[in-house]
Structure 1
């Protein structure tokens, strides 16, 4: 049994999943996923405000007859609350709908601010899984520039999400319509084939969505084949999450007690699982190459640590050498020493000759005095 498990772990696909799981868990993937979920829920409030403002604009300016019908339906729904409470609630709703401009501006500004923060947190979480050094200091940017970049990322992501879910919804409805037009709703194999069309469309749209995420969020580039395969893995996971959310919402709506809080719970669960999926796929892409992998691709942590240590030693040596004060260039110093030694030799020789001449003159004078005394 142990040998079988070891052989299973040694398979490239299983070993890759294990490396991705270790990277995801070691770099706080669950905690980052929870933080992204929190900011996702927080960003829903200004989005709802902006949507309410758009609804008010449509009901007040474009279709005022619908406003009267809506107020009547709401009044009938609140009939059991009493005339006084009913009138107050309807007055609040009517004033809010008619003040759509102020609510829209506040909601839009709040949505931009919270959305930029959400995109920034998602970017930092993906980069934490992506980079080789988890403790790498993030380069600080100007707040305004960073916010504008995050807003651009958010707008692109919203467009990609809208295309993904829109294509899935349209393809599903078209499939039902095509079966009805052909009058073949009772043909099992044709229905099965056409049911696969929305899945294929959703898979392609999800693949493009994850490709967009891993092209704009990381600060470095990974090998293109790993990004493509990882994006496909994320697209498959997104389809599974979509069907899971649809199934849970359907189950909750059948129960009146759970129908009130069920959609909110499903939405929070979807946000959390979607955030974890994005981070896990990022970890999967960043660990595409095992230890000793090919140059240019992501490598294992041990290899990266050894290279980082060697680079740190090299930097320390260079810094130490740079920190040593250099007063005179080496060539100038050598030349100066040679000139000084030559001058010393000359001065020494001249001094020696002069001292010898003085001694010789002294002894010559002494000898001359002795000769004069001998003559006397």
Structure 2
């Protein structure tokens, strides 16, 4: 029993010892937690105080430093100009006449105006002397015995030439007049060959500038039409030169009747009237050329404005050609070859002018817009077809009728 008591005492002491140890451990744990909490609170206070101090430093620095200048806004980049904003398109939209001229120039180039002008120039120079020989041969027979009228016709042709080409035309016309009686089969053949070549190229060029489709035509009928067109052009030119010559002669006669042939103002008015009459005659010739010479003829009213422009341009080229030839023929070599070169240049410029005004007329809005005629009203008619039965149809109908009759007899 003593041992039991001793063991109980030992257990109690051990239990007391363990309880004391637990109390000490819990106390030390509480102290550690309190110390940790104090450190955390101090760290929190320091962390809270640090941004405030930094903010105070920033405010102090900002208040002492100079205020920053505001940045300039960047200039917007200029948009690249497109094709619509370029100068020429804007001018074309603003000025319709300029747009018309540009369209005419584009059509002239696309339809080989320069090539056709070169061909017309070649055949013009080649056919000049043979055609004049044949023309004056015919005129000599028609005006036989009337040398005054023949001289007036020759003077009109010489006056219609540029100033520097007057002597050359006078020599050509003189040679044609002297040989008009001897212009036989050979001269006529040369005139026909060169004249038909010139007219063929001229008609093809005008057809192309009008924008007409070149069709394949029979050779013989085409050459015959070209020959008639050449004769018609010769008559038109003769009438033009005749009107100019007669107008000048009538004016001189009228001034002599009233005694004003020496008055300066009267001579000036006569010269002005002669120029106006020459322009009117040229307008008529150009109207005929522009409207009747293309392979597909066009209305004459469509060519009136172009004919006026061509007549004015022709007179301007004559004046400029005279100035050019005067400067070219001042040297010995120019005096020898100047007239021929001047004739080539003048013929080429006239051909280009004629083809350009044709393209200008063809690209006008009234000629570009074509009115489409409405179709004819439709007439609706019922289609009645009558079919006649054959023998089989008749036999079938007869059999059906017989069967119906037999059935009706049995029913009654």
TM-score class normalised by the smaller sequence = 0.5 to 0.7
| Residue of structure 1 in register with 2:386 after alignment | 335
| Residue of structure 1 in register with 2:336 after alignment | 260
TM alignment of 1:293-332, pairs within 5 A: 297-300=366-369
Structure-2 separation of matches of 1:141 and 1:352: 76
| Residue of structure 2 in register with 1:17 after alignment | 101
TM alignment of 1:217-228, pairs within 5 A: 217-218=293-294, 219-222=296-299, 224=301, 226-228=302-304
Q: Is the 8 A contact 1:230 1:284 kept in 2?
A: yes
Structure-2 separation of matches of 1:124 and 1:173: 42
Structure-2 separation of matches of 1:216 and 1:171: 31
The two structures, once aligned, show a CA RMSD in angstroms of 4.9
Which of 189, 195, 202 does residue 122 from structure 1 map onto? 202
Matched, 1:156 2:235: yes
Please report how far the alpha carbon of residue 182 of structure 1 lies from its aligned counterpart in structure 2 after TM superposition.
3.1
Alignment length, in residue pairs?
276
Structure 1: which 5+ residue stretches go unaligned? 55-96, 185-189, 290-296, 312-329, 358-376
- State the Cα deviation string for residues 95-127 of structure 1 (Å, max 9, x = none): xx9998555552244224422332233223212
TM-score between the two structures when normalised by the length of structure 2: 0.53
TM-score between the two structures when normalised by the length of structure 1: 0.57
Q: Is the 8 A contact 1:53 1:104 kept in 2?
A: no
TM alignment of 1:160-171, pairs within 5 A: 160=239, 162-163=241-242
Judged with a 3 Å threshold, the aligned counterparts in structure 2 of structure 1 residues 280 and 273 are, in CA distance, closer, same or farther, namely same
Secondary structure of the residue aligned to 1:246 is helix
| Residue of structure 1 in register with 2:143 after alignment | none
Structure-2 separation of matches of 1:171 and 1:237: 27
- State the Cα deviation string for residues 280-337 of structure 1 (Å, max 9, x = none): 1122222222xxxxxxx5225xx79xx79x99xxxxxxxxxxxxxxxxxx957x311x
Structure-1 separation of matches of 2:252 and 2:343: 23
Structure-1 separation of matches of 2:355 and 2:178: 43
Please report how far the alpha carbon of residue 275 of structure 1 lies from its aligned counterpart in structure 2 after TM superposition.
1.3
Judged with a 3 Å threshold, the aligned counterparts in structure 2 of structure 1 residues 165 and 239 are, in CA distance, closer, same or farther, namely farther
Structure-2 separation of matches of 1:208 and 1:272: 21
Structure-2 separation of matches of 1:212 and 1:255: 40
Please report how far the alpha carbon of residue 270 of structure 1 lies from its aligned counterpart in structure 2 after TM superposition.
1.1
Which of 279, 282, 303 does residue 206 from structure 1 map onto? 282
Q: Which of the two has higher C-alpha Rg?
A: 2
Matched, 1:182 2:263: yes
Judged with a 3 Å threshold, the aligned counterparts in structure 2 of structure 1 residues 100 and 284 are, in CA distance, closer, same or farther, namely closer
Structure 2: which 5+ residue stretches go unaligned? 1-80, 139-176, 376-381, 407-412
Structure 1 residue runs of 4+, over 4 Å off? 47-54, 97-105, 135-141, 163-174, 177-180, 190-199, 351-357
Q: Is the 8 A contact 1:167 1:202 kept in 2?
A: no
Query: Which structure shows the bigger proportion of residues in helix conformation?
Result: 1
Q: Is the 8 A contact 2:127 2:194 kept in 1?
A: yes
Structure-1 separation of matches of 2:232 and 2:264: 45
Judged with a 3 Å threshold, the aligned counterparts in structure 2 of structure 1 residues 9 and 168 are, in CA distance, closer, same or farther, namely farther
